[in-house]
Structure 1
Amino acid sequence: MRVLQLIDSLETGGAERVAVNLANALSKNMAFSAICATRKEGLLKKEIKPEVKFLFLAKTKTIDVKAVKKLNSFIKSNQIEIIHAHSSSFFLASIIKLFNSKIKIVWHDHYGNAEFLEHRNFKVLKVFSRLFSHIFTVNTTLETWVKANLKHKNVSYLPNFATLNKTIKVTQLAGESGMRIVCLANFRAQKDHVTLINAFKEVVEKHKSWTLHCVGKSFNDNYYSHIKSEIEKLKLEQNVFLYEQKSDVYNILTQCEIGVLSSKSEGLPIAILEYGIAGLAVVATNVGEIGDVILNHSNGVLVNSNSVNALAQAMLLYIENEALRLNHAKLFSKHIEAHYSEASQTKAIIKTYKQLLG
C-alpha cells in the first residue's frame, strides 16, 4: 500500500499530531508512507521519521493551481493509492480525486467542538463527502453526527494514539521540582484556560509553592490577552507560566506531577494520552471521549466543565494526597498503554485501507 497523510500544517495541534503519528507508524507496515503539509510547516516537522516522504505545498488560497499541480505530480510519481485527509484538507483531496479517479480518500474528522455540533457549518463538506471512501472520527459523538448528517455508509470511530520523542531536552520549567502542574493545550477559548487559572488561584491560597505551566500555541488574540490579564489581576505572575508551543513535550511533562485539561469541548485530546505516557496523575473536564479514558476516581479525576471550584478541589486532592496521586498516575499510564497504543490503532487503520483497495 502507498498512502499519503494530508494536513494543513505541522504546528502542534491535535489533528497535526495524529497525522504525523500515523505517517510514522505506517512507515513500518507498508511500502510507502508520506505526509503533506498544505499551508504551513511547524515544529512537528522535526518529528517526521526519515523513512517518511515529506511534501510542503505552501498553499496560499482555497484554490491554488500551483499547489494542486505540485500535489498531483507527487501523487502520480509516487503511485499514491490512498489520501488520508485530516480535517479541512478534504477539500484539496477531493480536487485531486477529480484528476485521479482511482484514488481513495479517507477523511479523518477531528472536529474539536463536538459539544456544539448544532453550530457546525457542513454544506461544503456534505457535497465533497460523496467522494470519500471511508470516514474516521475521533469520538463516538462525531461518528453519530456524520452518519446522521452526511449519510455516509462507511464511518468508524478511531481512537487517537500518542507517541512522544523522549530524546529532545530543551525546556527547563520555572518553579520547584515536585510541585508543578501542566496544561498542554493551544490557547483557544475552547480549552478554557481562564477557568483553570481561577481554579489555580484557590490552589495557591493553600499551597504557595505549587506552579502551573500552560504550554501551547498562542494566536496573540483577545483570548490570549485575556489569559495574561487574568494572571495579573489574580496576582499569579510567580505561580502561573505561559510557554509557546514546544518540541520537547516529553521532557516538559516529566518535570511535572499533575496534568490538567479544563476544556469546554473535546474529541479525544492527544494531551490526555501524552500525560499517560509521561506518567502523570490527570485531572480533566468530562467532555468528549475523556470519560472513556479517565475512569473517574479509579485512575484520574473528572470534573464538570466551567467549574472553578470543582477543578480546584480536584487539583488539591492530588496535591494533598501523594499516595493517591502516584497510584492513579501508575494506573492511568497502564491504561493508556493497554488501550490507546500505536500498535492497536495502526492495525485497525491498515485493515480499513486493505478493504478499500480490495
Structure 2
Amino acid sequence: MIKIAFVIDTVESPTAGTEKQLLLLIKHLDRTRFEPYLCVLRSSKWIEEKFDLCSLFVAGIDSFKTITGLKGILRLSGWFNENGINIVQTHFRDSSIAGILAARFAGIKTVIGTRRNQGYWLTPVELRMQKFLDRWVTAYIANSQSTKQWMANTEGVDLKRVEVINNGFDFSIIETESDINRKEMRLSLGVAEDAPVIGIVANLRPIKDHATFLQAANIVHAQIPTARFLIIGDGSEKPVLQKQTEELKLTDAVIFLGARLDVPRILAACDIGVLSSRSESFSNAIVEYMAAGLPVVTTDVGGAREAVDDGINGFIVAIGDFEEMGKRIIELLKADTIKQMGRESRKRSLERFALTSMVAKTEYLYNRCQEGSN
C-alpha cells in the first residue's frame, strides 16, 4: 500500500479549480493500492463541516515569519513519520514550502509538485525560493503543455521531470440533455426561453478579468438586446463589477448568481461559455463548458488551445480584447453551426478530459516514482 499525503494551504470550497481536482483524485484513487491523507496548513469551515474523503491532518501554519510556522513544519514532518507516508504531493506556494521541507526533514524520498497556475503572483523572492526547493522534488504534474513549458522557461525545471496530466472531469454530473431541464433552469433564473444566454464560471478576482467580459457583453447587447449574461462565482471584485454593470446600463441583462453548487444545471440553460482570464494554467471552466456541449469563447491563456480548436468548437481571442470577444460571441449566436460547435466541444471533452484518464495517469506516476525510490 502506497501512502500519499496531499498537502495544500486549505480548502475553502470544493468548487475552486485546484481544490476540485484534488478532491476528485482523492475520491477516485484505487484504495486497494493507495491510501490518501489530506494535510492542510490551516482548517476551514468547509473542511470542518463537510470533508470526509480520507484522514485529515491540520498543521496549524498561518505564517512562515514566526516560530509558529517552523513548529508547524516540524509537526507536519513528525506526522509524516508517524503515519509511514511514502509520497508527499504539494499544491500552491505555501504548502510547497511546508510540504517539501517537512518531507525533507522526515527523509521521504518521493515528493511530487503540482502546477495548476503559471505563477502570475510570484515575486522575485518567491521565485528564487521556488527554484531552491525544486532540487528536492522528484517529479511535477502540470495540467497543460503550456504550463510545462512555462516551468522550464521560468523555474528552469528539466522538462523530463514534468508530467502533463490534464484536468479530469466527472461527466456523470452533467445534466441529461433535455429541453425540460433547460426550461426549468431558465424559469428559475428569470430568463426567457428564447433568449441567447452567455455564461462565465469564475471566482470574482482581478485575474479572471470579468471587466473584459462585461465590456464584451455591452457590445453583444447593443446588437442583440435579448441576450442575457450569467456570472457564476463570488469574490472580492463583486462590488466593482456590479458598479461597472450599472455604468454600462446592463443591469437588466447581467445576472450575478454568486457561488453555486449546481453549475452543470446552469450551463444546461446556456448557449455559450466564456473565459476572460488574464492568466491560467488550464481552466476547469473550459472543460465544464465543453462537457455541457457549449461552444467556448476564451482568452489565449495557459492550455486554452489544448481544449479549444479555434473555429471548430469555439474561438480564442487575445487577452483583454473585449471587442474581439464581443464580435465572436455575436458570430456564434448568429451562426447556423452553433449547435454543431457545441457537439464538437462535447466530443473533445470526452476524448481529452475523462476523470478515469486523469486518475489512471496519476496512479501510474505514483507507482513509477515509488519504484524509483526503492
Query: Quick one: which amino acid aligns to residue 116 of structure 2?
Result: H
User: Are the counterparts in 1 of residues 118 and 147 from structure 2 also a CA contact under 8 Å?
Assistant: no
Indicate whether 1:342 and 2:355 are aligned.
yes
What secondary structure sits across from 1:236 in the alignment?
coil
Hey, what's the Cα distance between the residues in 2 that align with 1:44 and 1:301?
Answer: 38
| 2:9 alignment counterpart | 8
Hey, what's the Cα distance between the residues in 2 that align with 1:45 and 1:140?
Answer: 35
| 1:247 alignment counterpart | 261
Identity %: 20
| 1:197 alignment counterpart | 214
Indicate whether 1:175 and 2:191 are aligned.
yes
Mapping 1:1-358, distance limit 5 Å: 1-10=2-11, 11=13, 12-27=15-30, 30-41=33-44, 50-62=52-64, 64=69, 67-68=72-73, 71-72=76-77, 74-88=79-93, 89-112=95-118, 121-153=126-158, 154-163=161-170, 166=173, 172-177=188-193, 179-219=196-236, 223-321=237-335, 323-358=336-371
User: Are the counterparts in 1 of residues 147 and 302 from structure 2 also a CA contact under 8 Å?
Assistant: no
CA distance 1:42–1:106, shift in 2 (3 Å):
farther
CA distance 1:87–1:279, shift in 2 (3 Å):
same
CA distance 1:46–1:300, shift in 2 (3 Å):
farther
Structure 1 position 354, deviation (Å): 1.2
Q: Which runs of 5+ in 1 are unaligned?
A: none
What secondary structure sits across from 2:229 in the alignment?
strand
Query: Quick one: which amino acid aligns to residue 295 of structure 2?
Result: A
User: Are the counterparts in 2 of residues 14 and 269 from structure 1 also a CA contact under 8 Å?
Assistant: yes
Structure 1 position 167, deviation (Å): 8.8
Query: Quick one: which amino acid aligns to residue 53 of structure 1?
Result: S
CA distance 1:267–1:174, shift in 2 (3 Å):
farther
Query: Quick one: which amino acid aligns to residue 349 of structure 2?
Result: I
CA RMSD of aligned residues (A): 3.0
User: Are the counterparts in 1 of residues 293 and 345 from structure 2 also a CA contact under 8 Å?
Assistant: yes
Query: Quick one: which amino acid aligns to residue 61 of structure 2?
Result: K
User: Are the counterparts in 2 of residues 17 and 44 from structure 1 also a CA contact under 8 Å?
Assistant: no
Q: How many residues align?
A: 352
Structure 1 position 163, deviation (Å): 2.7
What secondary structure sits across from 1:122 in the alignment?
helix
Structure 1 position 251, deviation (Å): 2.2
What secondary structure sits across from 1:212 in the alignment?
strand
User: Are the counterparts in 2 of residues 113 and 190 from structure 1 also a CA contact under 8 Å?
Assistant: no
User: Are the counterparts in 2 of residues 277 and 337 from structure 1 also a CA contact under 8 Å?
Assistant: yes
CA distance 1:328–1:113, shift in 2 (3 Å):
farther
CA distance 1:239–1:37, shift in 2 (3 Å):
farther
CA distance 1:91–1:335, shift in 2 (3 Å):
same
Q: Which runs of 5+ in 2 are unaligned?
A: 176-180
Hey, what's the Cα distance between the residues in 1 that align with 2:73 and 2:142?
Answer: 26
CA distance 1:29–1:272, shift in 2 (3 Å):
farther
- What TM-score, normalized to structure 2? 0.83
Hey, what's the Cα distance between the residues in 1 that align with 2:354 and 2:50?
Answer: 18
Hey, what's the Cα distance between the residues in 1 that align with 2:250 and 2:124?
Answer: 35
Hey, what's the Cα distance between the residues in 1 that align with 2:348 and 2:271?
Answer: 18
| 2:178 alignment counterpart | none
What secondary structure sits across from 1:111 in the alignment?
coil
- Choose 147-156 or 182-191, whichever is displaced more: 147-156
- Choose 193-202 or 298-307, whichever is displaced more: 298-307
Hey, what's the Cα distance between the residues in 2 that align with 1:246 and 1:93?
Answer: 31
Structure 1 position 335, deviation (Å): 0.5
Structure 1 position 184, deviation (Å): 0.5
Hey, what's the Cα distance between the residues in 2 that align with 1:46 and 1:251?
Answer: 25
User: Are the counterparts in 1 of residues 168 and 356 from structure 2 also a CA contact under 8 Å?
Assistant: no
Hey, what's the Cα distance between the residues in 1 that align with 2:232 and 2:258?
Answer: 6
Hey, what's the Cα distance between the residues in 1 that align with 2:47 and 2:287?
Answer: 17
- What TM-score, normalized to structure 1? 0.87
Query: Quick one: which amino acid aligns to residue 226 of structure 1?
Result: V
